[in-house]
């Protein structure tokens, strides 16, 4: 396919040294596979649940079982898993708007949240933001080493903010992604200092990367075109947690008085469940690609985050490429490795919800799906590319090879 033979063997040699690392990833996938299998069995999932519902979607038993399964996996009282949730941002917005009221405060103890949440919260001016509805926002930045600044967090909790939001994944930043046990520690600290604060975890990109989830949170939210959709879900999002808070999110999604009782599945129930069932395997494929990318690009002299042997809590591999041409070359490689739209050249463009131009590579079966092989980068200093996904380990590997080939070409 036009790949330089030297690049191919360079990657193959590096990959040969990663067998033990990959075996660990497979172990976690096995645990998560059983977790999902057992949730499906406990919910007595049956063939009849794949029936379709339309219109209001009253008494949709398939939807009820799907939500029971999600609740079980996240050890939650309730779950809202809906095709009507467009994305992770939408699921998070429903959880926030559903539970916050004018005069309340939202607090982030982990610094600035993901770019699209800036307009939801109103950190960046946006019509309809929480700020416009009189919800205040505060954040406590992370320490220089990426840890939680407990002194500042304690001070911010003194007036008991209504909600706290914790982002598990690094997003478009160079920090570490927090593991479920690190998040647990932070949640316990918040509870000690402000027991009534509702704690939401943005779990995007984190699902099934570890053998546990940050289930101590009051609410968790994420996207079905990332990890938990297994690359099969054609769309959707989820919110899980305490029944009262999940219902408040449902009420925001539908309407007061309707809540979670309505919502047609429009024929998607089977694919959402099948995607969930495959998710541990797909996440493990993506993780192998991420680890390989870390190994290859660090060998090429770039800073990578996380490192090859670091603990991982999301599927995202950040690579500091340092200049815009290298970011574009990397993205060209990933695009050229895609099954769909492989012939197009990714360039930076404005995107709804983002303040900078963003370049996005991803020739995906589901539009914008980033559990499928993809790479994206906000076009700003220090020119970091975020690489993730791959439905099979071989495809994720191909993404690394094609991207490395393009970046090597730039050097010669």
Ligand X SMILES: *Cc1c(COP(=O)(O)O)cnc(C)c1O
- The residue among 168 and 397 lying less far from ligand X, judged by its C-beta, is 168
Q: Is 116 in the site for ligand X (CB under 6 A)?
A: yes
- The residue among 53 and 116 lying less far from ligand X, judged by its C-beta, is 116
- The residue among 11 and 334 lying less far from ligand X, judged by its C-beta, is 334
Sign of torsion, CA 191 193 197 200?
A: negative
User: Minimal distance in Å, beta carbon 171 to ligand X?
Assistant: 4
Q: Is 223 in the site for ligand X (CB under 6 A)?
A: yes
User: Minimal distance in Å, beta carbon 86 to ligand X?
Assistant: 7
Figure out which of the listed residues 99, 169, 284, 305 binds ligand X, where binding follows CB under 6 A: 169
User: Minimal distance in Å, beta carbon 236 to ligand X?
Assistant: 10
Figure out which of the listed residues 202, 213, 247, 376 binds ligand X, where binding follows CB under 6 A: 202
Which distant-in-sequence residues (6+ apart) come within 8 Å of 176 by Cβ?
146, 170, 305, 306, 310, 313
Which is nearest to 272 in space by CA: 116, 76, 98, 68? 68
Which is nearest to 349 in space by CA: 369, 331, 365? 331
Q: 10 Å Cβ neighbour count for 134? A: 11
Which distant-in-sequence residues (6+ apart) come within 8 Å of 23 by Cβ?
none
- The residue among 32 and 169 lying less far from ligand X, judged by its C-beta, is 169
Figure out which of the listed residues 10, 70, 205, 330 binds ligand X, where binding follows CB under 6 A: 205
User: Minimal distance in Å, beta carbon 208 to ligand X?
Assistant: 15
Binding range to ligand X, per CB under 6 A, among 179-187, 201-209, 246-254, 297-305:
201-209
User: Minimal distance in Å, beta carbon 12 to ligand X?
Assistant: 31
Q: Which residue has the tokens 């500042």?
A: 152
- The residue among 89 and 99 lying less far from ligand X, judged by its C-beta, is 89
- The residue among 319 and 401 lying less far from ligand X, judged by its C-beta, is 319
User: Minimal distance in Å, beta carbon 348 to ligand X?
Assistant: 17
* 376 beta partners: 360, 386
User: Minimal distance in Å, beta carbon 243 to ligand X?
Assistant: 24
- The residue among 32 and 87 lying less far from ligand X, judged by its C-beta, is 87
Q: Is 230 in the site for ligand X (CB under 6 A)?
A: no
Phi first, then psi: give them for residue 395, nearest 5 degrees. Answer: -75, -40
Q: Is 114 in the site for ligand X (CB under 6 A)?
A: yes
Q: Which residues, 149 to 168, sit near ligand X by CB under 6 A?
A: 167
Q: Is 204 in the site for ligand X (CB under 6 A)?
A: yes
- The residue among 32 and 116 lying less far from ligand X, judged by its C-beta, is 116
Figure out which of the listed residues 57, 122, 171, 333 binds ligand X, where binding follows CB under 6 A: 171
Total number of residues binding ligand X (CB under 6 A)? Answer: 12
Sign of torsion, CA 39 43 48 50?
A: negative
Which is nearest to 163 in space by CA: 205, 115, 120, 124? 120
Which distant-in-sequence residues (6+ apart) come within 8 Å of 304 by Cβ?
293, 294, 297, 298, 317, 318, 319, 320
Residue nearest ligand X, Cβ-based: 88
Q: Which residues, 81 to 110, sit near ligand X by CB under 6 A?
A: 87-89
- The residue among 14 and 91 lying less far from ligand X, judged by its C-beta, is 91
- The residue among 354 and 402 lying less far from ligand X, judged by its C-beta, is 354
User: Minimal distance in Å, beta carbon 410 to ligand X?
Assistant: 27
User: Minimal distance in Å, beta carbon 411 to ligand X?
Assistant: 30
User: Minimal distance in Å, beta carbon 314 to ligand X?
Assistant: 7
Are 219 and 201 contacting, i.e. CB atoms less than 8 angstroms apart? yes
d(CA 263, CA 253): 10
User: Minimal distance in Å, beta carbon 172 to ligand X?
Assistant: 8
- The residue among 205 and 330 lying less far from ligand X, judged by its C-beta, is 205
Residues that bind ligand X (CB under 6 A): 87-89, 114, 116, 167, 169, 171, 202, 204-205, 223
């Amino acid at each position: 396919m036009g790949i330089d033979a030297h690049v191919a063997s360079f990657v193959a040699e590096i990959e040969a040294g990663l067998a033990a690392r990959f075996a660990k990833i497979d172990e976690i996938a096995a645990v998560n596979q059983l977790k999902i299998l057992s949730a499906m069995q406990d919910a007595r999932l049956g063939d009849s649940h794949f029936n379709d519902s339309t219109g209001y979607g009253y008494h949709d038993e398939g939807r009820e079982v799907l939500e029971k399964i999600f609740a079980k996996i996240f050890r939650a009282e309730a779950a809202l898993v809906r095709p009507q949730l467009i994305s992770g941002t939408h699921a998070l917005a429903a959880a926030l708007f559903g539970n916050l009221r004018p005069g309340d405060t939202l607090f982030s103890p982990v610094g600035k949240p993901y770019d699209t949440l800036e307009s939801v919260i109103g950190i960046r001016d946006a019509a309809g933001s929480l700020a416009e509805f009189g919800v205040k926002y505060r954040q406590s930045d992370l320490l220089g080493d990426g840890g939680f600044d407990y002194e500042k967090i304690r001070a911010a909790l003194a007036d008991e903010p209504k909600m706290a939001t914790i982002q598990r994944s690094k997003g478009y930043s160079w920090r570490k992604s927090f593991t479920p046990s690190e998040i647990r520690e932070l949640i316990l600290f918040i509870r000690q200092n402000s027991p009534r604060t509702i704690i939401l975890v943005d779990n995007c990109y984190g699902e099934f990367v570890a053998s546990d989830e940050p289930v101590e949170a009051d609410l968790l939210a994420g996207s079905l075109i990332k990890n938990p959709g297994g690359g099969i879900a054609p769309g959707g999002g989820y919110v899980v947690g305490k029944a009262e808070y999940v219902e408040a999110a449902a009420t925001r999604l539908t309407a007061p008085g309707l809540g979670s009782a309505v919502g047609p599945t429009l024929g998607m129930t089977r694919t959402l469940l099948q995607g969930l069932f495959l998710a541990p395997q797909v996440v493990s494929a993506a993780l192998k690609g991420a680890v390989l990318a870390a190994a290859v690009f660090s060998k090429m002299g770039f800073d990578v985050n996380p490192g090859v042997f670091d603990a991982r809590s999301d599927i995202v591999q950040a690579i500091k490429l340092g200049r815009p041409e290298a970011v574009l070359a990397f993205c060209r490689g990933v695009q050229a490795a895609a099954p769909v739209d492989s012939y197009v050249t990714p360039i930076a463009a404005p995107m709804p919800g983002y303040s900078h131009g963003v370049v996005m590579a991803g020739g995906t079966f589901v539009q914008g799906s980033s559990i499928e092989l993809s790479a994206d980068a906000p076009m700003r200093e220090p020119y970091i590319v975020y690489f993730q996904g791959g439905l099979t380990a071989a495809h994720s590997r191909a993404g690394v090879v094609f991207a490395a080939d393009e970046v090597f070409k730039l050097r010669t």
